[in-house]
Chains A and B, each alone.
Chain A
Amino acid sequence: MNKLELSSLYQLTMARFRLLSREPEAIFWIFIFPILLAAGLGIAFRNRPADVLPVGATTPQLMQAMAADPGLKATQLDEAAGGAALRTGAILLLAVEIPNGVAYKYDDTNPDARTARMIADRAIQAAAGQRDAVHAENQLIHETGSRYIDFVVPGLLGMNLMGSAIWGLGFAIVEARQKKLLKRMVASPMPRWQYLASFLLSRLVMLVLEVGAFLGFAGLVFGVPFRGSLWQLAILCVLTSMAFSALGLLISSRAKTMEAASGLMNLVMLPMWILSGVFFSASRFPAVIQPFVRALPLTAANEALRANMLQGVGLNHLLTPVAILLAWLVVPFAVALRIFRWR
């Protein structure tokens, strides 16, 4: 064996790689799944010519009035059939003739239905002779960076960094503890810090591969912009991954069974999947819980990643999210080292 092969840190890190690369499921969740998710979302939310909204009308006159607008697809239905179509989502709005005019049946909590209401009313009023008071024309803009796919890619990146760090560390450590391997390792002269460091080192290398694959796909296929400095983006990815690794270490520091660890991981990650602005902006949540939402590591990570990629903001203007991530790196790591159960 050469000198490198006699280094325990090298051997521990290589063992991590070997175990990970021999686990097909891990490869799927780390590399394939985020790309599939991005592809799915990219296709579902691709910029189409504005949606044609399905609506219904109870009379031929109303139907024709609405069909005159290219934004609506109108069908004639009696009230009972129209009610059923509304409930199943086959139409968004039903225009019903009433003695003194028209009544619109729709769900005002559905944004599409509200849009349908406005277009339908405009079409029916125009058919009845209403004219615009002010001349208006549309100039359409489809700018890269403002599409949904542009918004969601940094969010998915943050989510993926969280998942691979927490799952990668958590399951491996708890499995080693459950199988008494951890106990066997600490009975040997292995330096304990190297065991934990090997996870972080292997994580860093995997990070290059998984982030490269994911962002490469998003850039090539969807033309997602990279407006900020790439090395600053790399720093943000490393910082995010290390912060979640520390959290993963903390989660797995005591758990004795995979079931317990799995429950804890879900408990930690689920709120962030929802609150931290992966799929929609975190600012949508009420002001009362905003301080909590802002303090979550995934919120900070997503905010910083979006600012870098979409707006080209430099790290010097991202001190708040970076500070939050650093705090999430240092505190859980320190606590985990104190309470870690080696057997």
Chain B
Amino acid sequence: MTDRSGELNSVSQASSPLRIRGLRKAFADVQAVDGLDLEVLRGECFGLLGPNGAGKTTTIEICEGLTAADEGTVELLGLNWSTGADELRQRIGIQLQETQFPDKLTVEETLKLFRSFYRRGISMEESIRTAQLEEKRKARVGGLSGGQKQRLAMATALVGDPELLFLDEPTTGLDPQARRHLWDLVDELKQAGRTIILTTHYMEEAERLCDRVAIMDHGRVIALGTPQQLIATVGGEDIVEFAVTHSAPGSSEQVRGVVDAARLTAIAGVQSHRVDAGLHQLSVSELHTTVPRIFAALAAEGLHMSEFRTHSATLEDVFVRLTGRNLRDE
């Protein structure tokens, strides 16, 4: 993953809407971005994935022209912020974390306002349709749900018909249903061929939406590739998840069982073990031969599995492998 030269050379200069070289930014004594190189391809959905504090927002805000870099260059659509700021603002769309639009304006009024900032763009109608806010067009922003507010933010980013769309943690704080709704919206934008750069600390979001992902930690990119490529670096392993119970003596009640981790990792084919909210997670190779051995080991302990599932390794597992930490631990 450290050698990306071949990949870079295959990208023609003109077709790259975003190019970052040697980017550094420090706040007081924190090095938020520490030597970052990235290249985003036209028409792709590119994800910056990392825990809170990894430098994702700082990176994206430098790209958006909101923060000045200490060092390094950022080139967007062949322009840069020092000479082409006005032009760039016309051609990119931005959705920031935690923008609160005025509560007492309606959805339509807010979109008309933002539409008026752009020389060209889609109609207010079209932005309402894209964001699926038709029923809320006359509603005041203060009365919208979290998901609707986020879709409004998305609509304000789209009114200028941007060539490059920045979405900073678009689903943070949303309930699962609103999150899925927003994912569908991003899918549609991808289908329409827009170049999207999004940050997230949800690995399932990155896997679901992004064509390529850069995993960030401490202001650096620690892995870059398609979600499938990154997951393959874990070794093509599978993850086995289960919870165990055992019957308390003299009672039919099932109580949560305790498993000795050393006993689990001793099973042939089990690479590692961790427990997340009562759920045991084993990364295993040779799923078909290892699973029967796990069953046997638990049965020998007098334990029952109350849940059992396997899945292929995820970006979360990639992050754990690279840093030894959970994405969500931060």
Q: Which of A10, A18, A176, A189 has the most CB of B within 10 A?
A: A189
Residue contact B89 to A187, C-beta cutoff 8 Å: yes
Contact of B100 among A19, A181, A189 (CB under 8 A): A181
Contact of A7 among B65, B100, B101, B116 (CB under 8 A): B116
Interface residues of A in 1-58 (CB under 8 A from B): 1, 5-8, 10-12, 14-15, 18-19, 22-23
B117 CB-CB contact with A under 8 Å: yes
Residue contact A190 to B117, C-beta cutoff 8 Å: yes
Chain A positions within 8 Å of B156 at CB level: 184, 188
Contact of A187 among B94, B98, B105, B113 (CB under 8 A): B94
Given known contacts A1-B123, A1-B124, A180-B98, is B116 in contact with A10 (CB within 8 Å)?
Answer: yes
Given known contacts A180-B96, A180-B100, A189-B118, is B64 in contact with A18 (CB within 8 Å)?
Answer: no
Residue contact B66 to A187, C-beta cutoff 8 Å: yes
Chain A positions within 8 Å of B116 at CB level: 5-8, 10-12
B112 CB-CB contact with A under 8 Å: yes
Report A175-204 CB contacts with B as 1/0, cut-off 8 Å: 010011101101111100000000000000
Q: Residue on A with the closest CB to B97?
A: A180
Given known contacts A1-B124, A5-B112, A18-B109, is B104 in contact with A189 (CB within 8 Å)?
Answer: no
Min C-beta distance of B278 to chain A, whole Å: 38
Residue contact B109 to A183, C-beta cutoff 8 Å: no
Main secondary structure of the interface of B (DSSP, over half): loop
Contact of A23 among B89, B104, B115 (CB under 8 A): B104
Report B30-52 CB contacts with A as 1/0, cut-off 8 Å: 00000000000000000000000
Q: Which of B65, B94, B102 has the most CB of A within 10 A?
A: B102
Instruction: Bin chain A's interface residue count.
Output: 20 to 34
Per the bound structure, the CA–CA distance linking A190 and B159 in Å amounts to: 13
Residue contact A189 to B105, C-beta cutoff 8 Å: no
Chain A positions within 8 Å of B97 at CB level: 180
Residue contact B112 to A11, C-beta cutoff 8 Å: yes
Residue contact A179 to B105, C-beta cutoff 8 Å: no
Min C-beta distance of B208 to chain A, whole Å: 26
B183 CB-CB contact with A under 8 Å: no
25 A–B contacts from the bound complex (CB under 8 Å): A1-B112, A5-B112, A8-B117, A11-B116, A12-B113, A14-B109, A15-B102, A15-B113, A18-B105, A19-B104, A23-B104, A176-B102, A180-B96, A184-B99, A187-B66, A187-B94, A187-B96, A188-B94, A188-B114, A188-B118, A188-B160, A189-B86, A189-B89, A189-B118, A189-B160
Nearest 10 A/B pairs, CB to CB: A179-B100, A189-B89, A11-B116, A8-B116, A22-B104, A184-B99, A190-B117, A11-B113, A188-B117, A187-B94
